[in-house]
Amino acid sequence: MIFRSIRIMLAAGAMLATVPAMAQGNAGAKPPRARNIILLLGDAGGVPTLNAAGIMAHDRPQSLFIQSMPHVGLSDTSALDNWVTDSAAGMTAIMTGQKTNSGMVSALPMADGKITPVKSFLEYAEQRGLSTGVVTNMPIWDATPAVCFAHVATRKDKDQIFRQMLAPRFGNGVDIVIGKGQADAVSSFAKDGTTPQQAFAKAGYRFGDDPALVREAGRAAVLRDADYAPIPAVEATIGQLARNPKGYFLMVEWDMHTDKPEKGLKHVIEMDEMIRRISAIAGKDTLILFTADHSFALRMTGGKRNAPMAQQYAVEAAKPDATIANNAIIGVQDDHSGEEVIAAAVGPGADQVHGFFPNTRLFDVMLKAMGWKKEE
Which CATH number characterizes residue 138's domain?
3.40.720.10
Q: Is residue 102 part of a domain?
A: yes
Q: Is residue 44 part of a domain?
A: yes
Question: What pLDDT is recorded for position 25?
Answer: 45
Question: What pLDDT is recorded for position 16?
Answer: 38
Structural domain span for residue 109:
34-370
Question: What pLDDT is recorded for position 8?
Answer: 45
How many Cβ atoms from other residues are within 10 Å of residue 24's Cβ? 11
Distance CA 173, CA 194 (A): 20
Q: Is residue 215 part of a domain?
A: yes
Provide the number of structural domains found in the chain.
Answer: 1
Distance CA 106, CA 147 (A): 5
Q: Is residue 289 part of a domain?
A: yes
Q: Is residue 25 part of a domain?
A: no
Burial of residue 355 (CB within 10 Å: 0-12, 13-18, 19+) is exposed
* Stated pTM of the model: 0.90
Q: Is residue 17 part of a domain?
A: no
Question: What pLDDT is recorded for position 301?
Answer: 86
Question: What pLDDT is recorded for position 68?
Answer: 97
Question: What pLDDT is recorded for position 228?
Answer: 94
Of 319, 323, 326, 333, the C-alpha closest to 301 is: 326
Question: What pLDDT is recorded for position 274?
Answer: 97
Distance CA 364, CA 161 (A): 25
Question: What pLDDT is recorded for position 278?
Answer: 96
Q: How high is the mean pLDDT in each 10-residue block of the chain (376 residues)?
A: 51 41 49 92 95 94 96 98 96 98 96 92 98 97 98 96 96 97 97 96 96 94 95 97 98 94 93 96 96 93 90 85 68 91 98 98 98 89
Q: Is residue 3 part of a domain?
A: no
Q: Is residue 218 part of a domain?
A: yes
Question: Using one digit for the tens of pLDDT, what is the confidence trace for 23-41?
Answer: 444 455 565 799 999 999 9
